[in-house]
Amino acid sequence: MDFREKIKDLSGAALQDAIMKRRKEEIISLICRQTDYTSEKAEERLLFWKNNYLHVIREWMNPNFSTKKKEKTYTSVNQGIIGEIRNFMDEGVRQKKLEDRKKAYIQHKMAEAKAKKEKVMKEKAMLEGNKKIIT
């Protein structure tokens, strides 16, 4: 019997329950396909990870997997504003340093190219000068 036929006559809370149950079954079958868990083990791990099937699969792939939650440090409004200003200014300094390094690199490469070109020109001039002396 098709799922649509089963829920055709349902409405309200019963319909929602049927949809949620179907979704849970599909998630468990997905976990079983992607891992070597049984449906009971998959359901247990799914409850542990609060119905996040990606975490269940990642845990299976890497047993040392754990999501690290960031510790929220509660600060005053003034501390938050000053912190944001500091972060903004630090980012500006980082961008400026990066830009300066790029300019210095480009100048260095241009100087190398110029020196190489001058060297080639001197060699050509020497060869031409030797040809004039010989003839």
Distance in angstroms (rounded) separating the CA atoms of residues 134 and 111: 35
Tell me the per-residue pLDDT of 43-96, one tens digit each, with 9 for 90 and over: 999 999 898 999 999 989 887 777 666 666 767 888 888 888 999 999 999 999
Q: What average pLDDT does range 88-106 have in this prediction?
A: 94
Encode pLDDT of 2-27 as tens digits.
Answer: 766 776 667 778 778 878 888 899 99
Residue given tokens 């890497």 in the structure block: 62
123 pLDDT above the threshold of 70? yes
pLDDT at residue 73, rounded to an integer: 73
pLDDT digits (tens, 9 = 90+) for 24-40: 999 999 999 999 999 99
Instruction: Please state the domain extents for the chain.
Output: 3-61
**Res. 110: pLDDT tops 70:** yes
Residue 104's pLDDT band (cuts 50, 70, 90): very high
Q: What is the mean pLDDT of the chain?
A: 85
- Round to whole Å and give the CA distance between 63 and 58: 8
What letter represents residue 125's amino acid?
A
Helix (H, G, I), strand (E, B) or coil at 20: helix
Which residues, at least 6 apart from 6, have a Cβ–Cβ distance to it below 8 Å? 18
Residue identified by tokens 């083990």 is 41
Given this model, what pLDDT does residue 33 score?
93
